[in-house]
Amino acid sequence: MKLKEEIYSRLEQGRTDVLGIGISNLPLIRLLCKMGADVTARDMKTEEQLGDIAAELKGLGVRLVTGEGYLENIEGDIIFRAPGIRPDLPQIKAATDRGALLTSEMEFFLEITPATVLGITGSDGKTTTTTLTSKILARQLEKNGCGRVWVGGNIGTPLLDRADKMTENDFAVVELSSFQLQTMTRSPYRAIVTNLTPNHLNWHTGMEEYTQAKCNIFRHEPISHVTFNAENEITYSLAKESKLPVTLFSSVAQSYAETVKEIDGACAIFERDGIIYYSDGVTEEDIIKVSDIKLPGRHNVENYMAAISITRPYVSREAVLDVARTFGGVEHRLEFVRELDGVKYYNSSIDSSPTRTAAALSALTEKPIVICGGYDKNIPFEPLADALIERARAVVLTGATAQKIRDALDKVGAEKCGLKIAFDPDFKGAVEAARGMAETGDTVLLSPACASFDAFRNFEERGNTFKNIVNSFEE
C-alpha cells in the first residue's frame, strides 16, 4: 500500500496522535479534524501555557495530553511527529513497534499535493536558495500567464492545509531541515543539497546521522534529479555515489571537467571570466554575468548556481536575469540596517553556524566588527576563529558560547594576529560595545555563528532586536 493510501486508511479506522502543537502541526490538527479524524494532540507545554490554542483544539474535539509526561501511552494508529522531537524516543519506538505508522506534516504534504515539488536542503544557503528558486519560477510563471509558486517547509507558512488549492500547473518550493528529513520516505521531484558541514550536533547523534537525514531528500520517489555542491567534500562524495541524474555547481572551477571531475555523465554549472555557464559535457550555455547579481558575496553566486540548476527545465534565461538584477536579499541575511556616524550596521542573524559567518565575512569588502555567540549546538569553533582572524577587525562575544569561541580564538593566537576581542554577556551590551569600538568608515556585523535559543525564540527575533537597538542609537 502506498503511503498516501495508508495514511488515509489509518485516519479513517483508528486514532491519531500529533506530537507537538507548533507552527506546522497546528494547521495539521485543524485539517485532520476537518477530515473527521480522532485526534489526540500532545505537547510539552501545559494547557495554561498553550492558552487560546488549547481552548480552540478542545472546541474541535481534540484530546490534549500536555506537560512533562506528554509522550506517555501513545495509542494512535498513526503518529505525526513535529520536526524537533527525536523519532527514536522510547515512547515513540514502543508505538511503532506495535505497528503505529510514524509520519509528519511535511511528508503528508508531499504525498497529497498535485504541485511539482522542488526541495532544498543543506547546512548553509538553503533559505536564500529556496527564495531565489521561488522568485525565478514566479517570474517565469508570470510570463507564461498560468500557475503559482508556493513556498514553505522550514521557512514561510505550513503548506499542508493549502494543498487542496494547488494544481498541476503549480510549484511548491520547500526548504527542508534535517529534523524534517529524519524519517522522510518521500522526496521532492527535484532537489538541491547546497553543502554539508557540522551542524545541529546537539540534536543528532553525530555527523553521520545528520548527513543520512539530509540524504532522504533524494532517496525516495518521485525524485528525478539532484544538484550538489562540487566544492564540498561530503556533497561531492554523495554525487559520486548517486545513481540519479546530477548537476554539480562550483564557484571555483572554470570548466565542465574541473567541476564534475570523476563523475561521468553529470552536468555542471561554473563561472569563467565573470560569466555563469551551464554545460552537459557536450554543449555550453552562458546564463548570466556575475555582475548581474545584486546580492553580494561568492556564497550568493553559489546560491544562484543551485537555483539555476533546479529550475532549469522550467524557466528561461530571461527569468533568471530579471531576478538577479532586481532581488536585493532576504531579511536577516546581510541586511543593511543603517549608517550612523559613518559606521554601517548589517544584520545577518540567520548565520547560525561558523561556515555561514565565514561566508558573510567573505561577502564584505571591508573588515567588520563582528558580534558572535549564542546557543551551543556543539559545533567546533576552530573554523570560525580562522575566518575571524582573516576577515574581521574585531569581535564582540556574547551569549552561551562566548567562552567557547574565546577559547578557539586563544588557541590560534587571535589577539597576537591583531584581532581585537571584547566580551559582554548581555546582547544589548554587546551591540553597544561594538558601536563603541567602531570608527568612521567601519562596519558592524551581527553574524552570531550560533543558534539563537539561549536568549531568543528564533533568529528572526534576534535580528529584529539587533535592528531595534541599532535604530535606537541617537546621532
The tens digit of pLDDT for each residue in 208-252 reads 999 999 999 999 999 999 999 999 999 999 999 999 999 999 999
State the average pLDDT over residues 344-359: 91
Asked whether residue 290 falls in the same domain as residue 374, the answer is no
Which residue has 575571524 as its cell numbers?
388
Q: Hey, which residues does 249 pair with through a beta bridge?
A: 229, 269
Helical segments of 216-277, H only: 233-241, 256-260
Over pLDDT 70: what percentage of the chain?
A: 100
What φ, ψ does residue 81 adopt, rounded to 5°?
Answer: -100, 130
Residue 1 has pLDDT above 60, yes or no: no
Amino acid identity of 29?
I
Asked whether residue 77 falls in the same domain as residue 132, the answer is no
The tens digit of pLDDT for each residue in 447-474 reads 999 999 999 999 999 999 999 999 999 8
CB 106 within 8 A of CB 24: yes
At CB < 8 A and 24+ separation, what contacts does 153-156 make? 153/106, 153/119, 153/177, 153/180, 154/126, 154/127, 154/180, 155/127, 155/130, 155/131
Asked whether residue 83 falls in the same domain as residue 158, the answer is no
Q: What is the mean pLDDT of the chain?
A: 93
Asked whether residue 319 falls in the same domain as residue 429, the answer is no
pLDDT reported for residue 170? 98
Asked whether residue 60 falls in the same domain as residue 164, the answer is no
DSSP state of 165: G
Q: Which domain holds residue 276?
A: 108-326
Residues 6+ apart with CB under 8 A from 33: 39, 60, 61, 62
CB 342 within 8 A of CB 441: yes
Asked whether residue 245 falls in the same domain as residue 357, the answer is no
Asked whether residue 125 falls in the same domain as residue 251, the answer is yes
Which residue has 544538484 as its cell numbers?
227
Which residue has 563523475 as its cell numbers?
263
Amino acid identity of 180?
Q
Amino acid identity of 359?
A
Give the residue from 326, 355, 378 where a domain finishes.
326
The tens digit of pLDDT for each residue in 416-450 reads 889 999 999 999 999 999 999 999 999 999 999 99
Asked whether residue 61 falls in the same domain as residue 124, the answer is no
Residue 156 has pLDDT above 90, yes or no: no
Euclidean distance between CA atoms 424 and 181, whole angstroms = 37
For the entire predicted model, the pTM comes to: 0.78
State the average pLDDT over residues 270-276: 97
Asked whether residue 359 falls in the same domain as residue 239, the answer is no
CB 402 within 8 A of CB 424: no
Report the domain count for the chain.
Answer: 3
Burial 192-214 (b: 16+ CB within 10 A, else e): bbbbbbbbbbeebeeeebbbebb
CATH number at 90 reads: 3.40.50.720
Asked whether residue 123 falls in the same domain as residue 223, the answer is yes
Asked whether residue 124 falls in the same domain as residue 97, the answer is no
pLDDT reported for residue 140? 97
Tell me the residue ranges of DSSP E strands in 382-435. 394-397, 420-423
Euclidean distance between CA atoms 412 and 417, whole angstroms = 9
CB 445 within 8 A of CB 368: yes
Euclidean distance between CA atoms 458 and 335, whole angstroms = 17
Euclidean distance between CA atoms 472 and 474, whole angstroms = 6
Q: Hey, which residues does 248 pair with through a beta bridge?
A: 228, 268
Give the residue from 68, 87, 103 where a domain finishes.
103
Taking each helix axis from N to C terminus, what angle separates 382-391 and 354-363, rounded to the nearest 10 degrees? 10
Taking each helix axis from N to C terminus, what angle separates 354-363 and 298-311, rounded to the nearest 10 degrees? 110
Asked whether residue 348 falls in the same domain as residue 318, the answer is no
CATH number at 339 reads: 3.90.190.20
Distances (CA, A) of 445 to 27, 195, 258, 266, 430: 36, 24, 35, 39, 12
The tens digit of pLDDT for each residue in 274-309 reads 999 999 999 999 999 999 998 888 889 999 999 999
Give the residue from 304, 326, 348 where a domain finishes.
326
